[in-house]
Amino acid sequence: MGSLNPTSAKAFTAVFSRVVSEVITPVGVVAPFIPDQPPAEVLPMKALWDTGATHCSVTKDAAERAKLPAIGRAIVSGVHGAQERDEYYLNLVLPNQVTASLVRATECDEDEGIFDVIIGMSVITLGDFAISHPDEKTLFSFRIPSLEGIDFVEQAAEHAKRGASSASVG
């Protein structure tokens, strides 16, 4: 994934009608291709984007619906302490139609249907990730691959310079 060139970059933006504390977007989940078996169906699910998660996670219900075979067990440390959980490989189809393949995901607790998958830093670091709140709305944007740094300090200085020059004109 990280070796994609800039001409193959894909991006998506999600705009929420208010400021949100959780960024949840649609995502497709499919079991990795297994030779001599028909390709699995891409299932639409809901993904929570979580910069506090090192890796991705999938709920037990979502893993069962996607027919993901457990590949082993892993110790997962989280807010409830360390627990041993099933581990899976899955393919994610992001809203920009980029597929993140063979993503390692550990089982996570259900959260009353709020999400099926947690997208952690193992996927987020494949691209550029930004959240802003113009006009009391949340705007979330993601692109793969990373194309350039986003420097708010530089942008603020340019904005201040433009403000100072327009104030001195009047």
Q: What is the pLDDT of residues 109-141, one digit of tens each?
A: 877 789 999 999 999 999 999 999 999 999 999
Amino acid 58: pLDDT: 97
Q: Which of 88, 87, 106, 91 is nearest to 42 (CA)?
A: 91
Residue 6 has pLDDT above 70, yes or no: no
Q: What is the pLDDT of residues 83-102, one digit of tens each?
A: 899 999 999 999 988 888 89
C-alpha–C-alpha distance, residues 77 and 137, integer Å? 33
Strand-pair partners of 30: 91
Q: What is the DSSP string of 93-116?
A: E-TTS-EEEEEEEEEE---TTS-S
The DSSP H or E segment spanning 60 is: helix 60-65
Q: Model's pTM, two decimal places? A: 0.84
Amino acid 28: pLDDT: 96
Going by the DSSP 8-state scheme, the letter that residue 2 receives in this structure is: T
- Across all residues in the chain, what is the average pLDDT? 88
Residue 4 has pLDDT above 70, yes or no: no
Amino acid 170: pLDDT: 52
Residue 18 has pLDDT above 70, yes or no: yes
Amino acid 116: pLDDT: 97
Terminal CA-to-CA distance of the chain, rounded, Å?
51
3-state secondary structure of 150: coil
Q: How confident is the model at residue 5 (pLDDT cuts 50, 70, 90)?
A: low
